Amino acid sequence: MKRFYIVFILVIPLFLFSQKENDNWYFGNKAAVNFSASAAVGLNNSEMEASEACGTISDSSGKLLFYMNGQTVWNREHQIMSNGTLAPSNNNSAQQLAIVKNPADSNQYYVFITGENAFGQFAINYSIVDMTLGGIGADGAPLGDVVKDKKNISVLNPSGNELFSEAVTVVAHSNKEDFWVLIPNGSDIYAYKIDSNGFSNGQPIVSNLNLPLNLGSGRYYSIKASPKINNPMYSNLVGISFWGDFNAGNVPDTYFFNQVYSFNASTGLITNDFFLHVKGLKAYLPEFNRDASVLFLGYGHIYAVDLVNSTSSNVQYMEIFHDPSSITSSSATGIQRNIYGDVYISRQSKSFLGKVINPDVYSSFMSVDMNAVSLLKASANYGLPQIVPIHDKSGFEGYYPCVGNLTLFSEPNVSFYYKIAETITTKDKYILQGKHNITMQAGESINLLSGTFIDNDASYYGFIAPCSKEEDKLSRSAYRKPSPVKMFLELDKKERVETNSDIKVYPNPVSDFLTITAAAKINNVEVYDISGKRIEVSLKDNKVDVRNLSGGVYLIIIETKNGKMTKQFIKK
């Protein structure tokens, strides 16, 4: 007899709650998006210009409280708070900022702003926004303001020195009361605790990152943390991303990397249980999906890395988006998961947000829709707001395990329990046979469309029920085995072959004119000496005039629509 069941169960939740503090994003060039409805909706009320770092916080019902970039805080009526100017206006290219609620006062929020590392200025600091201060808004409630004596306080390392970092994120403490503020600097990561006693300034928990270089002035990097993971040895994954910039003249172009570590939210320490090193010229921006089973990496290309089934000898990954017409080689300038598990992609000066399709099922049906959300007359830039972690006594830890929509075109798993979507749809070539044992739990509906086939030897069970159980937040593939995993992935090998294979420079050594041949049009060239100093040269008819260069070794960066590549040449 065919084992095929669809059971519709109406269940009244044991508790009702609202937890919509992350329902609004303000970012980019006066761009904003609201996630309260079933589909993201662009807003046109922002007054903010944010090159990179940005953040937004709403109340538990989804009502906007304030938004900010690295210099300024705006209230919900889109006015600059009277004490809301935090940093000079030229601090506009810091990569990240973070917002977190004060465990000692539900009306207050810590805001952490970082510095622009290209110039080694503006040390990382924090301020406190109090929503009981400020003028009275149209709704009769205070608009909030920055506390005067809690403004621009320098974050200190254990030696009492300021930190110059453009990377910061926040992870919920495992005690469901406190938080960790994570800041990478040098070769370490500092974990500062925020609890009812305040911010543990100057007294962080320190872990060594074993990086291939130090994170310091003139270097661009960021940090991302995954949602909670079901593992007895660690609670989250933490990714450190680094972008080698020739304009800083301090690193070779081989240094585009991500390092992913396991983190224990009880101790504040990096652990030795999980490690992934990824090198990639065109894929360094990281984001995790809702259960940390997949790592997305983007820039020129967008990749998905299977964090559950990969091994030290076989890291499983695939390219899910590539734009061969991208002149700037940046199909993505920001990647960020929202509170509902959707993964969005920003592109500089574009009036749409992209979105990863099927981000929670690692399969060939993962893809990217680059025009998923209209930003109306506004545009994105280099950054999107990080999720603000919110403790909820119901156990949901600030994100919902059963939201969004999932479409399955095939079944990549033998035995699987889907419990991550409001609606689940199967279609095209979704076939269950043999040893398949599949369970689907959806919040609203399960739709088995044309192309779905379940044979007599397969087991299928589908039902409708709210996701209101503690264990539901630890979804099907989030569990990690206790045994340590150490993996290396060199995406840049593939990328270098793609970018460099058709580009040649000659003669080498050269006396007067360096000729470049390439299948694609050459848009720009830059020449640097061995100290990293840029040398002005002219390009005409694919020939570079090097007659005025002194004898020695030089690097030339050649930009085509397919990206940038670097060659070395010798001037006689």
> What per-residue string of b and e applies to 272-300 under the rule 16 or more CB within 10 Å gives b?
ebbbbbbbbbbbbbbbbbbbbbbbbbbbb
Contacts of 572 (CB under 8 A, 6+ apart): 509, 510, 511, 551
Residue 316 identity: Q
Buried/exposed 509-537: b ≥16 CB within 10 Å, e otherwise: ebeeebebebeeebeebbbbbeeeeeeeb
Domain ranges of the chain: 24-396, 405-473, 502-571
The pTM of the full predicted model, rounded to 2 decimals, is 0.75
Q: Which residues contact 244 (CB under 8 A, 6 or more apart)?
A: 251, 252, 253, 254, 255, 256
CB distance 233 to 262 below 8 Å = yes
Using a CB cutoff of 8 Å and minimum separation of 24, what contacts does 87-94 make? 87/113, 87/122, 87/152, 88/122, 91/115, 91/116, 91/121, 91/122, 92/51, 92/52, 92/116, 93/51, 93/52, 93/118, 94/52, 94/53, 94/70, 94/122, 94/166
CA gap 100, 299 in Å, rounded: 28
Given CATH 2.130.10.10, say whether it is the number of domain 24-396: yes
> What tens-digit pLDDT sequence spans the chain (572 residues)?
344 444 443 333 333 335 789 999 999 999 999 998 878 999 999 999 999 999 999 998 899 999 999 999 999 999 999 999 998 765 667 889 999 999 999 999 999 999 865 555 678 999 999 999 999 999 999 999 999 999 999 999 999 999 888 899 999 999 999 999 999 998 999 999 999 999 999 999 999 998 888 887 767 889 999 998 888 899 999 999 988 654 444 444 446 889 999 999 999 999 999 999 998 877 889 999 988 999 999 988 899 999 988 999 899 999 999 876 544 456 888 999 998 889 999 998 999 999 999 898 788 878 999 999 999 999 999 999 999 998 864 443 444 445 567 888 888 777 677 766 778 899 988 999 888 888 887 878 899 999 999 988 888 888 776 654 333 344 434 456 666 789 999 887 766 666 556 688 899 999 999 999 887 788 889 898 877 788 999 998 899 999 999 998 888 888 876 667 778 899 99
From residue 71, alpha-carbon distances to 53, 85, 122 in Å are: 9, 6, 11
> In the CATH hierarchy, which fold is given to the domain comprising 502-571?
Immunoglobulin-like (2.60.40)
Q: 82 Cβ partners below 8 Å, 6+ apart?
A: 134, 135, 145
Residue 155 DSSP class: P
CA 451/CA 460 separation, integer angstroms: 16
d(C-alpha 541, C-alpha 539), whole Å: 7
End-to-end CA distance of the chain: 82
CB of 144 closer than 8 Å to CB of 75: yes
Q: Is 41 helix (H, G, I), strand (E, B) or coil?
A: strand
Q: Which residues contact 510 (CB under 8 A, 6 or more apart)?
A: 546, 569, 570, 571, 572
Domains 24-396 and 502-571 are alike in CATH topology: no
